[in-house]
Structure 1
């Protein structure tokens, strides 16, 4: 596994492309992906597509993290997201968890915890 600093330095554009490929492979749409990421971060679709920076900057500059992050629970990469101590790594894993749920066909109202 990559060190946390290496993960934090990944360009957002690369991660976004991987998320798009994952959800499209599973029959979901870019619009659904962007709805999930907007709910989590407050970025709009255009900002998600054009953000120029690494994961550290992406989450640091997020316009409005959802107040419902405490409802994002479960396992990503063998680790419970609610137990991750590093705040930035937890934010990254929240995004991964939501994208995983989307790719697995979960209903949008369940993913958005509402």
Structure 2
């Protein structure tokens, strides 16, 4: 699990989001509020497609994102990745705070140790 995924706050601009993606070398950002509560996510494609029409991150944030709890089984994350055809799943605690990100590569590393 990636313990410190790259995040952005909803009130930031799309320009700031693109700059952060470029600097961090990622193609998506987890959107969290000022209390680190998970709001949703944005992708580079979302930003590029909406760059001329939208100013703020919250305007394009995908809020209906499937996630797993901190104590979820690996099979839950794998199932979500397969069903949603995504390469990562956010990990959220009981207070809706973002705790990490499970990626396909992190699962390969864990399963390779078994």
> Under TM normalisation by the shorter chain, which class is it?
0.3 to 0.5
The structure in which a higher percent of residues are helix is 1
In the superposition, the TM-score normalised over structure 1's length comes to 0.35
Normalised by the size of structure 2, how large is the TM-score? 0.35
Higher strand content, 1 or 2: 2
